[in-house]
A and B are shown apart, each in its own frame.
Chain A
Amino acid sequence: MKERLSREVMAMRAAKELFDGAVVNLGIGIPTLVSSFVPEGIEVIYHSENGMLGFGPVVTADESAEKADIDLVNAGGQYVTPLPGMCFFHHADSFLMIRGGHVDITMLGVIEVSEKGDLANWMFPGRGVGNIGGGMDLAFNAQKVICLTEHTVKDGRPKIVKKCSIPLTAPECVDMIITDIAVIEVTKKGMVLKEIAPDWTPEEVQALTEPKLIIDPGLKIFEL
């Protein structure tokens, strides 16, 4: 078995997509890690569904007694720290920002993503139930949707499929997929393989991906 990239390395790669002044909403899971790897000189403004912009890092367990405050939590229910210039607003304004296209980038987790960029990530696999939360509004309306996910499920089945087998979060919404072995762009022509993990070949990535990948002429090793 070839080595796959860690969640941290995936987050580092995703952080390269951030730009100065970007309004960013990070979903639960690997996306949350991205905030630890923001490139130097770039300031992003984090948006949280519960009505907060411009907040600081998550409070660590060590800091908890001193810094945790139930009136300062992110959408995942984690305590976060305040930053100068942050602001609060109500839920309708928060989703005005999302629906109105004022969120530049959202990074979301994946259960399945299809060739056309259909995303399915709200229904728990095998449980037949799920939570939609704010993810559906983000997937439909953020300017750029980046998915962060392991390339396959634990038993090796592809998560990047021809057609999603579970209820969709949003059709044709995904712009880019960053996995533990590849970076793929979703285009009108199809899925373009842009980067691969060290020691992996495009054929090996293709073997773990249902749709046919278009190999980018400028295919690179993961750029960090």
Chain B
Amino acid sequence: MAVNKILKSFDEAVADIPDSATILIGNFAGPGGTPYYLIQALRKKGSKNLTIVANTAGGIGLTLDYDDHRILFENKQVKKVIATFPFSTSASRPSTAEKQILAKEVELELVPQGTLAERIRCGAAGVPAFYTPTGYGTVIAEGKEMKEFDGKPCIMERAIKADYALVRAYKADAKGNLVFRGTMRQFNPIMAMNARITIAEVDEVVEAGEIDPEAVVVPGIFVNRIVKVQEPLPFPRHPDRNFWVK
């Protein structure tokens, strides 16, 4: 039987996410590349004690005015967050996660961004740990093994391995192959390749063969479930326009 990973609803796609799961969420400095509808569905599902791995802890910057993973914190579903940019840059507008972190309701693991990306990539690649110079001689190095390579002191960082990844892509085919659009790519491909179950929220679903094999960013074997967005977010977007300018 031909593989078909396309599901009809976001609710159905997250229905088996249990309490205490570790979940990667595609996210950067704005709504582009964040799986908004999957996050909504996860809030509705209500799974608790989650460990969320994402660049931010939601609710800051461009994302202030829309419901990103901030709503999982509001709904008290999060036990721990692993992030690089968890705090609001404005002291007068603290994010929900920030208040919960400071009140010790949510545990924070603060990670340099390149280290977070590599920990996710290594988890996908079956590499349990790696050495990086980033963080040596700072608070990030505390409690970590140190080793010098070619005169450069490095610290050991462990891979992250997740149960689920909620990712955002532009286009998927029925085999699960994914392509992206512009900076929506960010953490999404490495997260998709990491998790035991990867769920992709996409703008378009096409037949197998309609995505140029040379252009595939995430091979379909990494993607378990795909749901198409019915109503795009109210943010400026020109999907019919190429980024190419003459």
Contact = CB atoms under 8 A, between A and B. Distances in A.
B183 A137 contact: no
Contact of A141 (B33, B133, B140, B181): B133
Contact of A132 (B89, B113, B235, B245): B113
B183 A48 contact: yes
Contacts of A84: 244-246
B67 to A, nearest CB: 15
Interface residues of B, number: 60
B113 A64 contact: no
B104 interface: no
A137 B134 contact: yes
A133 B84 contact: yes
A185 to B, nearest CB: 22
Contacts of A39: none
A171 B187 CA distance: 28
B interface secondary structure, majority? loop
A62 to B, nearest CB: 14
Contact of B183 (A56, A71, A171): A71
B18 interface: no
Contacts of B244: 82, 84
Contacts, number: 164
Interface in B185-221: 185-190, 217
Interface in B116-139: 117-118, 120-121, 132-139
A2 interface: no
A interface secondary structure, majority? loop
Interface of A: 48-52, 56, 64-65, 68-77, 79, 81-84, 86, 88-92, 94-95, 98-99, 124, 127, 129-134, 136-137, 140-141, 167-171
Interface of B: 28-33, 61-62, 84-87, 89, 91, 98, 101-102, 110-115, 117-118, 120-121, 132-140, 170, 180-190, 217, 233, 235-239, 241, 243-246
